[in-house]
């Protein structure tokens, strides 16, 4: 869950930081990229509420374990909806204003950040719940499988040609000295195909991603373009 959240937060930062710098000919791709992030977050939220939380509550026989999490979700959903509304109601990509998008993102930034860190602590504390299955028991194996199965399906069912490439291209594989470099576990050819074949449907979007196909953080595209433009205007190129 922490790694999923890391990709979402890196995606947020990539949009927030690049929005004011997007050039006219890149606006359509940036709008698509931003909507892929929205779809990722909304699908993640809905799948937690409808599937994961319900299963965990049933397992622990406790309907209160995610009370605070539900409140945290509510705190940023209105702003998230405004984010999507603004982008989808643009008559043309030329109308896009990076300053306006950043303003909207600022309305839900604090509760969004708080939640995406707090939820990790909430889940970690479940280990101490009195009804948590003991290590080595069939119940514990079943609980572990529930989390693993949900983690695998939650991104793929959100969208193979938009959400999956977004997730993988904002997943920093250098974090914690590369401990999670091979997460999520999948054969290299499959990962390559998800990025390069499935991702080809919206290939122009991924230049805005915070990482390359190998999961290495990179300078954001809009900053690269801005630096190149400045150098040309200064006569350095």
Digit-coded pLDDT (tens) for 54-99 = 888 988 999 999 999 999 999 999 999 999 999 999 999 999 999 9
| Residue 236: band (very low, low, confident or very high) from pLDDT cuts 50, 70, 90 | low
The CA distance from 116 to 93, in Å, is 30
CB 128 within 8 A of CB 118: no
Average per-residue pLDDT for the chain? 91
Residue 233 has pLDDT above 80, yes or no: no
Q: How far is CA 85 from the centre of its chain?
A: 19
Q: Domain segments of the chain: what residues?
A: 2-233
pLDDT at 234: 75
Residue 211 has pLDDT above 90, yes or no: yes
The CA distance from 92 to 88, in Å, is 10
Q: Six-digit token pair at 26?
A: 């890149």
pLDDT at 147: 77
pLDDT at 237: 55
Percent of the chain residues past pLDDT 90, beyond the cut: 64
The count of residues in the chain is 237
Q: Six-digit token pair at 55?
A: 């299963």
Dump pLDDT digits (tens) for 165-177.
999 999 999 999 9
Q: Name the residue among 136, 146, 141, 121 with its Cα closest to residue 58.
A: 146
Least-confidence region, from 70-84, 148-162, 223-237? 223-237
What mean pLDDT is predicted for residues 14-27?
Answer: 96
What mean pLDDT is predicted for residues 19-28?
Answer: 96
Dump pLDDT digits (tens) for 26-55.
999 999 999 999 999 999 999 889 888 988
| Residue 213: band (very low, low, confident or very high) from pLDDT cuts 50, 70, 90 | very high
Residue 152 has pLDDT above 80, yes or no: no
Which own/partner pairs from 52-60 qualify as long-range (CB within 8 Å, at least 24 positions apart)? 52/146, 52/147, 52/150, 52/154, 55/146, 55/150, 56/126, 56/146, 59/131, 59/133, 59/143, 59/146, 60/126, 60/129, 60/131, 60/132
């Amino acid at each position: 869950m922490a790694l999923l959240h890391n990709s979402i937060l890196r995606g947020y930062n990539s949009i927030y930081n690049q929005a004011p710098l997007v050039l006219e000919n890149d606006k359509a791709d940036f709008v698509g990229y931003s909507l892929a992030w929205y779809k990722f977050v909304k699908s993640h939220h809905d799948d937690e509420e409808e599937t994961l939380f319900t299963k965990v509550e049933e397992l622990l026989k406790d309907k209160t374990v995610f009370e605070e999490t539900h409140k945290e979700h509510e705190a940023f959903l209105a702003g998230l909806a405004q984010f999507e509304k603004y982008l989808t109601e643009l008559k043309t990509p030329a109308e896009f204003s990076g300053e306006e998008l950043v303003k909207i993102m600022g309305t839900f930034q604090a509760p969004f950040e708080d939640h995406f860190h707090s939820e990790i602590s909430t889940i970690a504390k479940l280990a101490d719940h009195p009804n948590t299955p003991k290590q080595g028991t069939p119940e514990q194996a079943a609980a572990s499988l529930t989390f693993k199965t949900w983690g695998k399906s939650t991104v793929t069912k959100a969208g193979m040609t938009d959400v999956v490439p977004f997730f993988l291209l904002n997943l920093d594989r250098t974090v914690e000295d590369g401990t999670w470099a091979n997460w999520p576990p999948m054969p290299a050819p499959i990962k390559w195909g998800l990025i390069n074949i499935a991702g080809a449907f919206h290939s122009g979007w991924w230049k805005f991603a915070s990482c390359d196909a190998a999961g290495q953080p990179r300078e954001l595209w809009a900053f690269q373009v801005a630096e190149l433009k400045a150098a040309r205007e200064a006569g350095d190129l």
